[in-house]
Amino acid sequence: MKYKVGDMVKVRNDLKPDKKYGAWCTVPEMMEHLGKVATITEVHEKDYHLSVDDEMWYWTNEMLEPM
C-alpha cells in the first residue's frame, strides 16, 4: 500500500461516481468528499479508511493524492 496510518491525503477532485478505481468502485455518496483532506485511519490489503467520512467508505490508492 502506498500510504500508512497517520498519513495526510487528499481525495481526488476528478473522481466519477460508479467508476472503478483500483479494487473498488466509487458510489455517489462518496462524491461529497471530493477535494477534502483526510488522515488515513486504517490500512487494509486493497484499501484505506479515512477520517473525513467517519471510516464509512473504502478508498484506494487511485482515489487519493499525497499531501
At 30 the pLDDT is 97
Q: Read off the amino acid at residue 22.
A: G
Are 25 and 62 a contacting pair, CB within 8 Å?
no
- Total residues belonging to the chain: 67
Look up residue 55 and give its three cell numbers.
471510516
Which pLDDT does position 19 carry in this prediction?
98
- Residue range 7-62, pLDDT digits in tens: 999 999 999 999 999 999 999 999 999 999 999 999 999 999 999 999 999 999 99
Nearest to 40 by CA among 9, 15, 66, 12: 9
Please, which pLDDT band fits residue 3 given cuts at 50, 70 and 90? very high
CA distance 3 to 40: 8
Q: Residues 28, 65, 62, 45: is their CA dihedral positive or negative? A: negative
| pLDDT score recorded for residue 46 | 96
